[in-house]
Amino acid sequence: MLFKQQALLRQKLFVLGSLAIGSLLYLVARVGSLDRLQPLCPIDGRFGPRSQDEIPLRALQFKRGLLHEFRKGNATKEQIRLHNLVQQLPKAIIIGVRKGGTRALLEMLNLHPAVVKASQEIHFFDNDENYAKGTEWYRKKMPFSYPHQITIEKSPAYFITEEVPERIYKMNSSIKLLIIVREPTTRAISDYTQVLEGKERKNKTYYKFEKLAIDPNTCEVNTKYKAVRTSIYTKHLERWLKYFPIEQFHIVDGDRLITEPLPELQLVEKFLNLPPRISQYNLYFNATRGFYCLRFNIVFNKCLAGSKGRIHPEVDTSVITKLRKFFHPFNQKFYQITGRTFNWP
């Protein structure tokens, strides 16, 4: 009889223990989704005073799934009205540079609960046909957000397209502009690698990088090659400075974003007047992929697409040396204009 009572007691304790563990796991998941119980903090500063119906940052982060459903077009007008959601013009744009890390930067900034990203490149300002459709068409391409969140889009072609600075200025002369750059020769090779991969997928042949980057007639750097021109950062930036003061630009180190993303993201948070919310918890190194992936909470992780981090083809060292020597004076001027120095050879 005593043995049966003891067995029954153990069974009850086991059931109670299981319930307690299950409740604990639920709470842990809940806390993770609320960003590890960091203090509730509304956005303030340049984005306006807090209103009575303003939603705290942690709640914004918790409702990312809801915003995702609206982005997919699964929301009714009534649902949008009830949740006080709007489609806003961007308050910041990642304008370049191609193969500098624009996608990685956008995805990492999206970790911040006050940031909402446009998932696709809109190509509004660099595409005449799109631009002719007007600003309202552009706004409707933006994701749904809460009024005090900021929307960010990225289209790296903006940086090198002549008409874009004036067009953006006409829309918003005080907009924040982000430029992410890498060592110019590395960026040019990465640019070539992406085009080469596209050709190979279509079973097409393509010239070697050396033949494109060096003019066979003069044996000098071929400045007509687009991958080379794009890496002359100062030439493009000078065109932008005709419309915007340097204070409205923030230069992101794309090479450092790969190896040490957090310090770069913290600098961007400061530039955008956002409260610091992105932490080391949100970034973890994936040894298989060879770069950092994103952790939104205890449940949801995300790595960039497999096309990121392509292996570059081998390039003749003499060509690399020639390119670095060519870019050097432009780099020095870029440092002088931006006030940021990079360890580029």
DSSP assignment of 209-264: HHHHHB-TTT-SB-TTSHHHHHT-HHHHHHHHTTTS-GGGEEEEEHHHHHH-HHHH
Q: Any idea which of 49-63, 64-78, 190-204 has the lowest mean pLDDT? A: 49-63
Does 19 reside within a domain? Answer: no
Does 214 reside within a domain? Answer: yes
- Is pLDDT of 10 > 60? no
HSE-CB at 166 with a 13 A cutoff on CA atoms is 3
The pLDDT tens digits for 205-244 are 899 999 999 999 999 999 999 999 999 999 999 999 999 9
pLDDT at residue 305 in the model: 72
CB atoms within 10 A of CB 294: 19
- Is pLDDT of 50 > 90? no
The pLDDT tens digits for 271-326 are 999 999 999 999 999 888 788 999 988 878 888 876 566 788 999 999 999 999 99
Does 319 reside within a domain? Answer: yes
198 is in an annotated binding site: no
- Is pLDDT of 178 > 70? yes
The boundaries of the domain holding residue 105 are 84-338
- Is pLDDT of 56 > 90? no
100 is in an annotated binding site: yes
* Total domains, the chain: 1
Q: What is the CATH number of the domain that holds 131?
A: 3.40.50.300
pLDDT at residue 37 in the model: 29
281 is in an annotated binding site: no
- Is pLDDT of 27 > 50? no
pLDDT at residue 70 in the model: 55
The per-residue pLDDT of the chain, averaged, comes to 83
pLDDT at residue 299 in the model: 79
pLDDT at residue 41 in the model: 34
Q: What percent of the chain has pLDDT over 90?
A: 66
**63 flagged as catalytic:** no
234 is in an annotated binding site: no
| Cβ-contact 70, 80 below 8 angstroms | yes
Question: Rg of the Cα trace of the chain?
Answer: 25
Does 2 reside within a domain? Answer: no
Name the maximum alpha-carbon separation found in the chain.
102
The pLDDT tens digits for 37-49 are 233 233 334 444 4
Does 194 reside within a domain? Answer: yes
Does 144 reside within a domain? Answer: yes
- Is pLDDT of 26 > 50? no
Does 157 reside within a domain? Answer: yes
Does 17 reside within a domain? Answer: no
Q: Which is catalytic among the residues 4, 63, 91, 99?
A: 99
DSSP code of residue 338? H
Residue 90 vs residue 84, higher pLDDT: 90
Q: How confident is the model at residue 181 (pLDDT cuts 50, 70, 90)?
A: very high
312 is in an annotated binding site: yes
Tell me the C-alpha to C-alpha distance, in Å, between residue 180 and each of 67, 68, 335: 27, 26, 14
3-state helix, strand, coil in the chain (%, to 5): 50, 10, 40
Q: Beta strand pairing status for 92-96 and 176-181?
A: parallel
Cis peptide leading into 97, omega within 30 of 0? Answer: yes
